[in-house]
Amino acid sequence: MKAAPIPALKRLMPTRVKSLAKDTFVNWKLRRAVKEINKLPAGEMPTAEMLVNLQIGWNNDGYVARTGYLSEVARHALTTAGPILECGSGLTSLLLGLLAGKRGVKTYSLEHMAEWRDRMNTSLNRCRIPNVQVELVSLKEHDGFTWYDALLATLQPQFALVICDGPPGHINGGRYGLLPLFGERLPSGSVILLDDADRAGEAEVMRRWQTEADLHIALHETANGSYAVLTRN
């Protein structure tokens, strides 16, 4: 008997089985991508293909950082002395753990969604990725803007690197709250990697930050979206 073609088999599968098959595939893809990066010699950059494999395994289209920003995060994660502050957890948290965490550099990641924090912890544990602490923090009204209620007392006194890809851009002030709330913990030479720098909200955040702090801003436009590297003078 001739075997049924794959698309025909797929149509016959119940939805639950299809979704289980997809979950199994993306989990396998994620573990394989993590393994590839784990095998890299110390200090070596993941290739673009490795980053794409990570994105496929992470399976969070629409919210995941694009490869231009992921490469920049990887470059800094390989060299920063840390510690690292991450605003908004996700694939970048895994990458930070794989490249900086493995060198003993710790990442503190702020996350406002409980189910997202749980997903992060499950993935970090399953893939045995070290030194990433995901902090569940609610979003709070501060002085004219909304931002994480950031447990200031329990986090590190200073950070060398900030991965700024949260909280969601649509809240009051978007990502602005980082500097008023954490500015004192960002010494001269510290770096902020701001994703989606071409969006109106992020451009406004950078404009406000520049009036409040001495920052060098380098904008990067790539085929895979734009981001900014801000260095505190």
Ligand X SMILES: C[S@@+](CC[C@H](N)C(=O)[O-])C[C@H]1O[C@@H](n2cnc3c(N)ncnc32)[C@H](O)[C@@H]1O
Q: Which residues bind ligand X (CB under 6 A)?
A: 60, 63-65, 88-92, 111-113, 116, 165-166, 168
DSSP 185: G
Q: How far is the CB of 199 from ligand X (least distance, A)?
A: 12
Distance CA 4, CA 98 (A): 42
Single-letter code of the amino acid located at 6: I
> Do 26 and 64 form a contact (C-beta atoms < 8 A)?
no
Residues whose CB falls within 8 Å of the CB of residue 73, separated by 6 or more in sequence, listed in order: 65, 92, 95, 96, 163, 193
Q: How far is the CB of 1 from ligand X (least distance, A)?
A: 42
Residue 153 CB neighbours (<10 A)? 5
Nearest to 82 by CA among 157, 135, 175, 181: 157
Q: How far is the CB of 64 from ligand X (least distance, A)?
A: 4
SS3 59: coil
Nearer to ligand X among residue 53 and residue 92 (C-beta): 92
Distance CA 73, CA 82 (A): 13
Nearer to ligand X among residue 199 and residue 210 (C-beta): 199
Q: How far is the CB of 129 from ligand X (least distance, A)?
A: 14
Q: Which residue is nearest to ligand X (CB)?
A: 90
Question: Residue 163 CA to chain centroid, in angstroms?
Answer: 7
Nearer to ligand X among residue 64 and residue 85 (C-beta): 64
Q: How far is the CB of 51 from ligand X (least distance, A)?
A: 11
